[in-house]
Structure 1
Amino acid sequence: MNVTYGQLFILIFVGKKGKCSPKEISISLGLDPGHLNRTISKLEEHGLLLQKKNEQDRRAKILSLTDKGRQVFEMSHDLFYQWDEIVLEALSDAERLELLRLLKKTASHR
């Protein structure tokens, strides 16, 4: 896919949101704003991400995926789904639900 692991997290975040600001990404993923801006620029250079001015706040930017970025997002989603199926095949449906519940609990407790 020609994207780094860190870039992929950003593409996935934007893909799930549809549109978002760099500040939302920085807060949600715990990324340094300077590093995030450099990464956004690289994703934009590679034609994966679009940056537009926010109409409500001209100083802020709104990010969205390009068609190419959407393809990478969908491909990564499929790969993660396949990986989950392989890794979780030993668990029953009830055990999978319990694992998901526990992961959500730990993720929300920060």
Structure 2
Amino acid sequence: MSEERVERDAEVAPPWDADRDPPMQQVTYHSSRRPRMKIRVAGHWRQARIIARQRYQDGRLAVLCEVSTPSDVGPVWLVRGYWWNPAAMRPIRPAAGWGSLQGSPPRIYKQKGHNFS
């Protein structure tokens, strides 16, 4: 019995607001080591370069990324934040520390002076 993979569009995560939102931990990737993913946007799979991942205290995870969108002159890269959703995201090139990206959010490890959960 095979499992059918349900595909959904990624849900846009609003920008974090210190006055409105609970604290969150962010891990940012250097431009030469950014993980790459395909993210489903408007019914199409788009290339994306992950800039950062953001873990909120309530357990939610967002990814801030550059997403390739088509235009008349070629692809245009737009910066967007999306809530983590394995039905809308597929890894192409994971970064160290992301572990398995097939269905669960990446783990965040303890780093010098920071308590990432």
TM-score normalised according to structure 1 size = 0.19
Tell which structure's C-alpha radius of gyration is larger.
Answer: 1
TM-score normalised according to structure 2 size = 0.18
